Amino acid sequence: MNIVWKGVMPAVTTQFTKDDELDLEMFSVNIKAQIDAGVHGIVLGGTLGEASTLTNEERRILTRETVKLVEGKIPVLMNIAEQTTKAAIELAKTAEEDGAKALMMLPPMRYKASDAEVVEYFKTVANSTKLPIMIYNNPVDYKIEITLDMFEELLKECSNIQAVKESTRDTTNITRIKNRFGNRLAILCGVDTLALESLLIGSDGWVAGLVDAFPAETVAIYELQKAGRVKEALEIYRWFMPLLELDINPKLVQYIKLASKFTNIGSEYVRAPRLMLQGEERIRIEKIIEEGLKVRPTLPAYKNL
């Protein structure tokens, strides 16, 4: 499968049981809901997937299970968020062996690498695999920015670096990327609260978070704006915004998992040191979710527009 860097690609949650084991049954429920809604790819092992808490074997299990569930209809991507180049290369290797069709890659974790170190890291990993790669550029949360000059060097030497998950939260960066690289570097918005405006000014797709609880609404926004039905997309987006804001908080995992519990396609169990929401914070988040569900829009027929 040649990956097409377009559309909605959920950064899916990892489902756990109350005993802190992988819950493959609930994981399957969520993946099937994504497929039924019409998503265009699945991203495993990201922040929402609680990547830093997963063992290598758990990653492999999730990759194999997802590959089986999608039945070749859409690509499965594995995120790489490692501390060492050696570990990143190994994860890229096992992801390919297990059926992943592409990678999403963060800069080296924990160590604040220099620009030269970051470029060398991406080059070395990219040259170790045939899988296409999307670079995750999120200086807000991970404190390292991949600049356009750094992308210039990477794109010259690594043909399999093909896309960026744009999470700088500066939408003007979309135009800068397009002006400099044209279609050589696909852009996928990585911030839920900037998704529609990003799509309208040039993003090719959306690596989404609240899609884990609201897959149909997320895909509908993408498909409607693509078809030029911006007013309808905007109406859904405005309804969605209080929920989308759950994605831009340090507790996005707990918030989004709780939302998916309310929509019956996920559970709220998280892996320690994360804890499930309690007290006033839980009441506040539940209220946001419940108010959204009360006025949940009836969607137009958005598929095959």
Asked if 85 and 99 touch (Cβ cutoff 8 Å), the reply is no
Nearest to 12, CA basis, from 57, 56, 69, 55: 69
Asked if 303 and 293 touch (Cβ cutoff 8 Å), the reply is no
Query: Would you call 22 helix, strand, or coil by DSSP?
Result: strand
In this predicted structure, the answer to whether residue 47 has a pLDDT above a threshold of 60 is yes
What average pLDDT does this structure show over 238-254? 97
Beta strands in the chain (DSSP E): 7-10, 42-44, 76-80, 102-105, 133-137, 161-166, 186-189, 205-208
Q: What is the pLDDT of residues 181-204, one digit of tens each?
A: 999 999 999 999 999 999 999 999
Name every residue whose Cβ is closer than 8 Å to that of residue 205 and which is 6 or more positions away in sequence: 5, 6, 7, 8, 9, 40, 186, 187, 188, 189, 199, 222
Nearest to 8, CA basis, from 240, 290, 184, 253: 240
Name every residue whose Cβ is closer than 8 Å to that of residue 86 and which is 6 or more positions away in sequence: none
In this predicted structure, the answer to whether residue 263 has a pLDDT above a threshold of 70 is yes
Tokens 């050589």 -> residue: 184
What average pLDDT does this structure show over 106-134? 94
User: Residue 109 — very low, low, confident or very high, per pLDDT cuts 50/70/90?
Assistant: confident
Going from the N-terminus, what domains does the chain have, and what CATH number goes with each? 7-294 (3.20.20.70)
| pTM: predicted TM-score of the whole model, two decimal places | 0.96
Query: Would you call 250 helix, strand, or coil by DSSP?
Result: coil
